[in-house]
Amino acid sequence: MQRDRNVERRAILKVAGASLAVAGLGATATACGGDSGSGDGTVTIRYSWWGAEDRAERIKKSIALFEKKYPKIKVKTDFQPYTDFWKKFNTQASGGNPPDVFQNAVGFLRKYDARNVLLDLSAQVEAGNLSMDGFRAGLEKFGEIDGKLLGVPVGSNSMALVIDKHVYTKAGVKPEQGWTWDDYDAAMKKIRDKAGRAGDTGPYNVMYLYDLYLRQNGKAFFTEDGLGFAEADLKAWWAKAEKAVEEGLYADQKKVAQIKPKSAVSGEIAAGEFTWDNFTIRYTSEGKSEYGLAPIPTTDGKKTGQYLGSLMLSASKRTQHPKEVAQFINFMVHEPEVAEIMGYDRGVPATQAQYDAFKPTDPVNKAIAEYEQSLVDAGVLEPITPHPNGADVCEAAFLRIGEEVGLGKRPVDDAVKQFFTESKTALAT
């Protein structure tokens, strides 16, 4: 079973700003990393990722397949929980000895590229060691930054509204593709009045949802080099959320905090909340109701601003074995048997070959696959918003300050100024 990725995500964001400031990451890339190989031509590459034991077991089984196909390449593995992974990675990178290949996310691409850590894999594509063909819904472009291929997607996810289906049915609410924010607001009132529950956990600090809302209105959370919205925009967003809590449309944030790490939806405090679609397995394991995925509300009934996000595999610029690393990445994202082993542990498989190879039979994963296919069929998917150097620090600030607003610890005006102050500092470094 998947572990609670919302909890993992919060953990990494708490340390993102501090841990990524480790000195020395900009050291000149020289030949180090994996070992130099044995006398018989066998080489060893180091592969690191974050996750729990269940992910580790799946990955190790996938590596066994790889080593069978490539007997001259051995893979040494290492994994940690989110927080510990990045602490260790930063120590390794600052010491000039990062892993040859590692799990990565879009918020870190420009940051680590600026520190001369990431290998541009474009040359390996040209050499035929890595294929960027056969990816789903434009995911092949996900790891491209400033003309460089810095990451290769292994899975996909997108923002969704997770709902308690019984509560929505009781309130007579049926969300459909193309419903508007006005429809959503009306639904929150119906749920409160007819089902006696808050309609939503409260999207104060869900940065990626706010990004979609901005994109619907011709803006974006990030541009390539900074923030893509003004203080007045964020003030309106947080003020609306604050009013919704007062009216009982969004959940009491103190109650939400009290039951963490359990979700407010599975804890029967709220009828729904916005999150990544592949996180939804947690609700069935935590709660007693039946849960589903609903579409993102729109401003105009058409544009959701959505894109497919993804975990990625990146390579170290210091690796002595770029060819072997590329072959390993290629195998992990294209080999059908890997998909059969990994399932949806890292999201819906990024390539069509792996997507076709694994057909989930359980209701939760089937719903995730159907939801992402519905986005493709509806034609709402767009390219992801660029993430500048410092994006991870901005996200951490948005999460923390948004929680403070929700808990009544900081007034909206002060919160907005604090967020912009911290973000401008992070984006300027």
Give the relative orientation of helices 231-246 and 207-216 as an angle to the nearest 10 degrees: 120
Q: What average pLDDT score do residues 211-223 get?
A: 96
Q: What is the pLDDT of residues 67-107, one digit of tens each?
A: 999 999 999 999 998 778 988 998 999 999 999 999 999 88
Please give the C-alpha separations between residue 411 and each of 90, 117, 200, in angstroms, as whole numbers: 35, 40, 21
User: pLDDT per residue over 270-288, tens digit each?
Assistant: 999 999 998 887 888 889 9
Q: pLDDT digit string (tens) for 416-428?
A: 999 999 999 999 8
Burial of 425 (0-12, 13-18, 19+ CB in 10 A): middle
Beta pairing class for 152-153 and 159-164: unpaired
Give helix 391-406 / helix 231-246 axis angle, nearest 10°: 30
- Predicted local distance difference test score (pLDDT) of residue 282: 83
What's the pLDDT score for residue 38?
A: 63
Kindly state the tokens that stand for 167: 């509560």
The span from the CA of 382 to the CA of 277, in Å, is 17
Among 73, 27, 111, residue whose Cα is nearest residue 331: 73
Instruction: Compute the distance between CA of residue 45 and CA of residue 320 in angstroms, rounded to an integer.
Output: 9
pLDDT at position 205 is 86
Q: Alpha-carbon Rg of the chain, whole angstroms?
A: 22
| Residue 135 scores a pLDDT above 50 | yes
Residues with Cβ within 8 Å of 310's Cβ and at least 6 positions away in sequence, in order, are 106, 139, 142, 153, 154, 155, 156, 157, 347, 350
Over the stretch 366-400, which tens digit does the pLDDT of each residue have? 999 899 999 989 999 998 877 898 998 898 899 99
Side chain identity at residue 24, one-letter code: G
Q: 260 vs 6, 218, 245, 273, CA distance in Å?
A: 11, 35, 18, 14
| Average pLDDT score over residue span 49-78 | 94
- Give the pLDDT score at 158: 93
What gap in Å lies between CA 395 and CA 382, rounded to an integer? 21
What is the reported pLDDT for 29?
38
pLDDT of res. 13? 44
For residues 329 and 103, what is the distance between their CA atoms, to the nearest angstrom?
Answer: 11
pLDDT tens-digit map of 307-343: 988 899 999 999 999 999 999 999 999 999 999 999 9
Task: Please tell me what DSSP assigns to residue 429.
Answer: -
Q: What is the pTM of this model?
A: 0.80
Q: Would you give the distance in Å from CA 92 to the centre of its chain?
A: 23
Q: Is the peptide bond before 175 cis (omega within 30 degrees of 0)?
A: no
pLDDT band at 22 (very low <50, low <70, confident <90, very high): very low
3-state secondary structure at position 22: coil
User: Residue 12 has what pLDDT?
Assistant: 41
- Kindly list the structural domains of the chain, giving each domain's residue range(s) and its CATH number in brackets, ordered by start: 5-156+310-358 (3.40.190.10), 159-306+386-428 (3.40.190.10)
Characterize the bridge pairing of strands 73-80 and 43-50. Answer: parallel
Residues 6+ apart with CB under 8 A from 63: 47, 75, 77
For the packed helices 231-246 and 412-428, what is the interaxial angle rounded to 10 degrees?
140
pLDDT over 90 (residue 18): no
Say yes or no to pLDDT of 204 above 50.
yes
Q: What is the pLDDT of residue 26?
A: 38
**pLDDT tens digits, 286-310:** 899 999 999 999 999 999 999 988 8
Q: Which one-letter amino acid corresponds to residue 421?
A: T
Report DSSP letters for 164-217, one per residue. EHHHHHHHT----TT-BHHHHHHHHHHIIIIISSBSBS--TT-HHHHHHHHHHT
Q: What is the pLDDT of residue 2?
A: 38
- Predicted pLDDT at 37: 64
Percent of the chain at pLDDT > 70 equals: 91
Mean pLDDT estimate for the chain: 89
